[in-house]
């Protein structure tokens, strides 16, 4: 881990630092001449206890604390606000659903009658929209009045006229008059629902840069400030949870596996040297937590390779696009890190090959390892990371071992 530029935060990291410091002291005593010390396996168990007691629970709790807090706004209030402040895109919606309307007409009428009825309906809609606009302008009314007037004219003027026209042209195509009325009412309800939906979408699009202004209409100023503050805290908690999971727990796990590997060796001289290597790793984790600015993905992934040196051979085939800071570089790096660490921890992989390439605005990732496929039902930060940023993530076995594939926006 390199230092780089950092940002100060309000996160209390003292408990984690104390746990790492106590672990370091325990390992130092193990290689001093004043103590019999712990065996390599006991040292690995000590690291495991720190992960289980001080790192993993803190990471999970911070992640839960980081859940986004959204203001609860009644749906009816949103609909009312959209309808009275955004002009309904009636003609746009009608044109968009025109192919479906024509196909529906063909099922109940001849080609000529269906086209005639559709043309007449569109003409009626245009005339009613124009009439509603003229009345609104003449009486100096607002958008809400205009939308309401069109709705009234559609229900009580256009629909009866269209129904009567359909009755004259296509009554023989329907099983009964009741069936014809049911279809007409259903068509009218669907058309109104589509126009209302279109109005809401247009309202959101038009007011996306005025979100805080909209919120102030529904929330007191002090409540809005609480929500904004909660959002900022949520961000900090989320970053800290990822730091604990991706960096601290990763380094400790690598240290534990390094000790276990040395314990399997017959060379007693390796014991002290391995413990010293672990102590050097712990020194990197003793410093207080500081949020790091975005890093170059290639540099970050080279650090990952160094972290697991001596345990697993990691080969990276990265595109030139990852040699500079990019918009989603941090996400891409973390997806790769999580895949590699899972291959080592769960699949016991000794060799990992990472291949990354860019297709348009999508980053494609493949992680091939020689370990055994082992999935866990336990949902944690890693699972959440894949679900949110790489929902097409797949894991399968092949002749070489296990292959993880995924894609995420670049």
Q: Rounded CA gap, 311 and 381, in Å? A: 24
397 exposure class (CB count in 10 Å sphere: 0-12, 13-18, 19+): exposed
In terms of DSSP bridges, do strands 313-317 and 401-409 run parallel, antiparallel, or are they unpaired?
A: unpaired
Q: Rounded CA gap, 390 and 80, in Å? A: 36
Q: In Å, how far from its chain's centre is CA 256?
A: 32
Q: Could you give the C-alpha distances from 32 to 63, 87, 267, in angstroms and in order?
A: 39, 79, 19
pLDDT at 233: 46
Torsion-angle region of residue 365: left (phi > 0), alpha (psi -120 to 50) or beta?
beta
Q: Rounded CA gap, 188 and 182, in Å? A: 10
Domains in the chain: boundaries: 75-218, 294-410
CA atoms within 13 A on the CB side of 240: 29
* Coil/strand/helix, residue 353: strand
> Exposure pattern of 142-160 as b/e (b: 16+ CB <10 Å)?
eebebbbbbbebbeeebbe
pLDDT at 135: 92
Look at residues 405, 295, 303, 408 and name the one whose alpha carbon lies nearest to residue 353: 405
Q: Rounded CA gap, 62 and 240, in Å? A: 7
Q: Rounded CA gap, 259 and 279, in Å? A: 11
Q: What are phi and psi of 359, to 5 degrees?
A: -120, 105
Does the pTM exceed 0.75?
no
pLDDT at 220: 56
Q: Could you give the C-alpha distances from 279 to 51, 269, 272, 284, 285, in angstroms and in order?
A: 16, 16, 11, 9, 10
Residues making up the chain, counted from first to last: 410
Q: Rounded CA gap, 340 and 402, in Å? A: 11
pLDDT at 353: 94
* Neighbouring residues of 269: CB distance < 8 A, sequence distance ≥ 6: none
Q: How close are the terminal C-alpha atoms of the chain, in Å?
A: 24
Looking up tokens 């009312």, which residue turns up?
A: 80
Q: Rounded CA gap, 161 and 242, in Å? A: 63
> Exposure pattern of 89-123 as b/e (b: 16+ CB <10 Å)?
ebeebbeeeeeebeeebeebbeeebbeebbeebee
Look at residues 362, 355, 333, 338 and name the one whose alpha carbon lies nearest to residue 400: 355
Q: Rounded CA gap, 2 and 105, in Å? A: 68
Q: Rounded CA gap, 400 and 368, in Å? A: 8
* Neighbouring residues of 126: CB distance < 8 A, sequence distance ≥ 6: 91
Tokens of 68: 């986004």
* pLDDT tens across the length of the chain (410 residues): 444 445 555 677 888 888 888 888 888 888 775 556 678 888 888 888 888 888 877 765 554 444 433 333 445 555 666 677 788 888 888 888 777 777 777 777 777 887 888 888 889 989 999 999 999 888 888 888 998 999 999 999 988 988 888 888 887 777 788 888 888 888 888 888 888 888 877 776 665 545 555 555 555 555 545 544 544 445 566 677 777 777 788 888 888 888 888 887 765 556 788 888 888 888 888 888 777 667 788 888 888 888 888 788 999 999 999 988 887 888 888 889 888 888 888 888 899 999 999 998 889 999 999 988 765 545 555 666 787 778 888 888 998 899 999 998 88
Question: Which CATH class for the 294-410 domain?
Answer: alpha beta
8 A C-beta contact, residue 246 and residue 55: no
Q: Rounded CA gap, 226 and 235, in Å? A: 14
Q: What are phi and psi of 395, to 5 degrees?
A: -130, 125
Strand partners, 403: 368, 396
pLDDT at 383: 66
């Amino acid at each position: 881990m390199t230092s780089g530029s950092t940002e100060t935060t309000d996160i209390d990291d003292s408990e984690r630092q104390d746990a790492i410091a106590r672990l370091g002291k325990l390992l130092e005593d193990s290689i001093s001449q004043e103590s019999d010390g712990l065996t390599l396996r006991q040292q690995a168990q000590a690291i495991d206890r720190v992960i289980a007691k001080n790192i993993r629970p803190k990471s999970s709790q911070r992640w839960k604390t980081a859940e986004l807090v959204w203001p609860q706004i009644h749906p009816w209030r949103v609909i009312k606000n959209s309808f009275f402040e955004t002009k309904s895109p009636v003609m746009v919606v009608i044109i968009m659903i025109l192919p479906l309307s024509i196909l529906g007409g063909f099922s109940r009428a001849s080609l000529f009658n269906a086209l005639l009825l559709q043309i007449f309906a569109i003409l009626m809609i245009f005339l009613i929209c124009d009439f509603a606009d003229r009345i609104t302008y003449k009486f100096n009314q607002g958008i809400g009045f205009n939308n309401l007037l069109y709705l009234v004219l559609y229900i009580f003027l256009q629909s009866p006229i269209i129904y009567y026209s359909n009755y004259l042209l296509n009554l023989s195509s329907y099983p009964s008059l009741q069936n014809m009325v049911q279809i007409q009412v259903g068509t009218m309800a669907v058309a109104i629902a589509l126009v209302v939906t279109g109005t809401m979408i247009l309202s959101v699009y038009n007011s996306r840069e005025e979100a805080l202004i909209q919120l102030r209409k529904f929330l007191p100023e002090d409540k809005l400030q609480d929500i904004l503050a909660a959002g900022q805290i949520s961000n900090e908690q989320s970053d800290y949870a990822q730091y604990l999971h991706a960096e601290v727990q990763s380094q400790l796990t690598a240290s534990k596996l390094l000790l276990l590997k040395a314990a399997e060796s017959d060379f007693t001289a390796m014991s002290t040297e391995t413990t010293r290597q672990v102590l050097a790793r712990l020194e990197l984790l003793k410093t207080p937590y500081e949020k790091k600015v975005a890093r170059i993905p290639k540099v970050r992934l080279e650090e990952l390779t160094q972290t697991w040196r001596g345990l697993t051979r990691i080969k990276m085939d990265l595109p030139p696009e990852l040699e500079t800071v990019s918009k989603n570089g941090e996400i891409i790096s973390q997806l790769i890190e999580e895949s590699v660490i899972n291959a080592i921890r769960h699949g016991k992989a000794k060799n990992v090959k990472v291949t990354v390439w860019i297709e348009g605005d999508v980053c494609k990732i493949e992680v091939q390892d020689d370990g055994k496929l082992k999935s866990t039902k336990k949902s944690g930060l890693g699972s959440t990371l894949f679900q949110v940023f790489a929902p097409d993530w797949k894991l399968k076995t092949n002749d070489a071992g296990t292959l993880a594939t995924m894609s995420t926006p670049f």
